[in-house]
Amino acid sequence: MIGGGLAGCEAAWQLAERGRKVALVEMKPALLSPAHRTPALCELVCSNSLRSDDPEAPAGLLKAELRRAGSLVIACADRHRVPAGDALAVERFGFGREVTARLAMHPNVRIERRAIAALPDGPTIVATGPLTGGGLARTVLGLLGGDRLYFYDAIAPIVDAETIDWERAFRAARWQDSADYVNCPLAEDEYYAFVAEVRAGRKVAPHAFEELRYFEGCLPIEVMAERGPDVLAHGPMRPVGLVDPRTGRRPFAVVQLRAENAYGTSYNLVGFQTRLAYPEQKRIFRMIPALREAEFLRFGSIHRNAYIDSPALLGPTLELVARPDVRFAGQMTGVEGYIESCAIGLLAAWFAAGVAEAPPATTALGGLYHHLTARRAPGEKFAPTNINFGLLPPADERARPTKKKDRRAQVVARALRDLDAWLRRLAPSARAAI
């Protein structure tokens, strides 16, 4: 098992629980990628949120399925959650420590802290993530015939809670009776002045050989701002569902902050991925009234994410067609997001352990699986994706509810029903005990 991120840790646990001896090879702490900071396994390098935990939201449905399947990652996340409305956000250090400890204490897991430059002989799962580099990257590229795909995503900044101007902020969640988010409102003139500076601010330039390809679900704020002055107001700064208790009115725009740890001492700027230069981030983000004196514990940054052309290169059990004893898992396969990576790690491990039946296409797990394995039409490009309901078949036309909410509920109920039936058909060891 190469890689100690979410996919690698999940895969190692699933295999170990099925009696397989697993060597989990992780390069940290000997080598750290530009995005990593700690030696812990399962390090969350971007947001600390695993997104919605509502089963009628795509991410919530996928988490519900992973819980049913015995996911180690989701179980540990549940035990280290911090307040975030209907989202599952975690205290990242406690979460990483627990995953590391659970794997280190498992009798079937041996953790090897070293870099690896070549694929070993025998059954292997590659889950080295979107920043794979060095000799291993060259080896993988050789196996893939030199094909390389990549896109960019970015990390949002974190501010010190004590430096937020709480007289200019209020607690509320959109459309909910909840105080899990801190909202920093902006008046109309403040919003447009902010957007102008975001557009004009100095950005970190890519290398000359790099072509920018952003993932649409994780766009930097300056890219959104460049698409039009009102785009941010309809995106991460949308004020819908919020009323400022000081005025009794909806703000013109708002920046939401979400707790970064269990103590509520730091908050990240929700949806504020950016490639602005660090001094520019400090200057421009302090134009937000509630953040005028903010101290930044982490600035936003940008990094390249590599992924393979899975539909063309992988077989039905996520095996590399050119070398069937090698499987790929996690973001390298072309899924985007923590829980999506975890899900593919789980599936890769199950396939390696002998599970032959793929998850039903009506489930969130099946939707991701089929995104990676379904052959594309000639000329159709493969691109990474989050879990979304577009990956699942629509509601049954014969009994299709008229309201969208009811149709969504039907799709969710069908997914969980079909997942449970699939799990019952698998061997008794298919589900790990957490």
Residue 309 has pLDDT above 60, yes or no: yes
The beta-strand segments (E) located in 116-263 are 124-126, 149-155, 158-160, 170-171, 181-186, 253-259
Whole-number CA gyration radius for the chain = 22
- Calculate mean pLDDT across residues 188-212: 84
How far apart, in whole angstroms, are the C-alpha atoms of residue 330 and residue 127?
Answer: 6
Strand partners, 25: 2, 112
pLDDT score of 166: 95
- Across 32-48, average pLDDT: 78
- Find all residues with CB under 8 Å of 32, minimum gap 6, and list them: none
Whether 385 has a pLDDT exceeding 90, the answer reads no
Q: What is the pLDDT of residue 433?
A: 44
What does each C-alpha distance from 405 to 57, 78, 214, 363, 413 come to in angstroms? 11, 26, 31, 18, 12
Name every residue whose Cβ is closer than 8 Å to that of residue 257 and which is 6 or more positions away in sequence. 159, 164, 169, 181, 182, 183, 184, 267, 268, 269, 270
Output the pLDDT for position 115: 85
Higher pLDDT among residues 260 and 213, named by residue: 260
Do residues 330 and 7 lie in contact, with contact meaning Cβ atoms separated by under 8 Å? yes
Average pLDDT, integer, range 146-155 = 63
Least confident range of 33-47, 226-240, 401-415: 33-47
Vertex 226: Cα angle to 220 and 228 (nearest 5): 120
Tens-digit pLDDT profile for residues 322-353: 899 999 999 989 898 899 999 999 999 999 99
Angstrom distance (rounded) from CA 307 to CA 140: 11
Tokens 């970190």 sit on residue: 204
Residue 79 is inside which H or E element, if any? helix 72-79
Nearest to 82 by CA among 159, 180, 169: 180
Bridge-partner residues for 23, per DSSP?
110
Query: What number of residues does the chain have?
Result: 434
**pLDDT at position 118:** 81
pTM metric for this prediction:
0.79
Whole-number pLDDT of residue 45: 80
3-state DSSP of 342-372 = HHHHHHHHHHHCCCCCCCCCCCHHHHHHHHH
Least confident among 64-73, 116-125, 187-196, 246-255: 116-125
Arithmetic mean of pLDDT over the chain: 88
Instruction: Tell me the torsion sign for CA atoms 360, 412, 335, 51.
Output: negative
pLDDT tops 70 at residue 427 = no
CA distances for 242 relative to 48, 153, 189, angstroms? 23, 28, 19
Average pLDDT over residues 412-427: 93
- pLDDT at position 156 is 86
pLDDT digits (tens, 9 = 90+) for 56-115: 999 999 999 999 999 999 999 999 999 998 999 999 999 999 999 999 999 999 999 998
Q: What average pLDDT does this structure show over 171-182? A: 85
Cα(177)–Cα(181) distance, integer angstroms = 11
Helices in 261-336 by DSSP H: which ranges?
278-285, 310-313
What is the reported pLDDT for 209? 45
pLDDT of 251 > 90? The answer is yes
pLDDT reading at 396 higher than 80: no
Task: Name the 3-class secondary structure at 112.
Answer: strand
